[in-house]
Amino acid sequence: MKPEKAPGYWPMRLALATVILMPVAIALLSLSTGSLQYEATHGWVSLPVIAIGALLWLPDIEGWARVVADCLTEGGRLYVYEAHPMLLSLRNDASDSRTLEVRYPYFELADPTAFDGNETYVDGPRLEVTRNYEWNHGLGQIVTALVEAGLVIEFLHEHREVPWQALPWMEFVGDGPRGADGRYQSGRMWRLPEAQRELVPLMYSLMARKPISD
């Protein structure tokens, strides 16, 4: 079987360069007070891309959607390729039982979920500060936030494959780099065993457009 192709709290200031990866930062987030504030140049980004592992750092998906809508040019599009909130709600350390167990919140909550881990996205040197905080956002919350911000959803796809080993018992898809190891491998996709493959989505991709004014 061929791999699927995607069609497509921590107090600190973050440039949206860490959230909207292409082409440049479009706003400034201030999370230090628990609220989302920003300064934006309106209508100058035509195709921002939200890539894997970005939205979970944000406490307010509605605020994020307003930032994106403000900064998009008329007719501009937003592309999102992200971990599915269903995947992020699953226990990810149950390698022995291989059971899909919902352990973490699916919906956005005011308080984040705390995790301890010393890995990075690139299997680099182990981290010394291991505590991090994440907010999940339900798929309906994400879509509704974008619609309420004035964007039009052009497509929303859910995927059975994920570009890292999100669960310990996931299987390789196709041929990967020779001798490669670790959870994060360039060009490598992972999926659940066949018996579990149709049970939960792992990733989603979304395209939204800012309408042109009459």
For the structural domain made of 13-209, what CATH number should be given?
3.40.50
Give residue-wise pLDDT tens across range 114-170. Answer: 988 887 766 668 888 889 899 999 999 999 999 999 999 999 999 999 998 899 999
Task: Round to whole Å and give the CA distance between 167 and 8.
Answer: 24
* Distance from chain centroid for Cα 114: 17
pLDDT at 181: 62
- pTM of the model as a whole: 0.79
| Residue 55 identity (one-letter amino acid) | L
Q: Among candidates 18, 12, 56, 62, which has minimal Cα distance to 34?
A: 12
Give the DSSP per-residue string, 183-210.
S--TT-EEE--GGGTTT---EEEEEEEP
Give residue-wise pLDDT tens across range 7-19. Answer: 333 232 333 333 4
- How large is the angle between the packed helices 139-148 and 61-71, nearest 10 degrees? 40
Residue 60 corresponds to which tokens in the numbers above? Answer: 């307010």
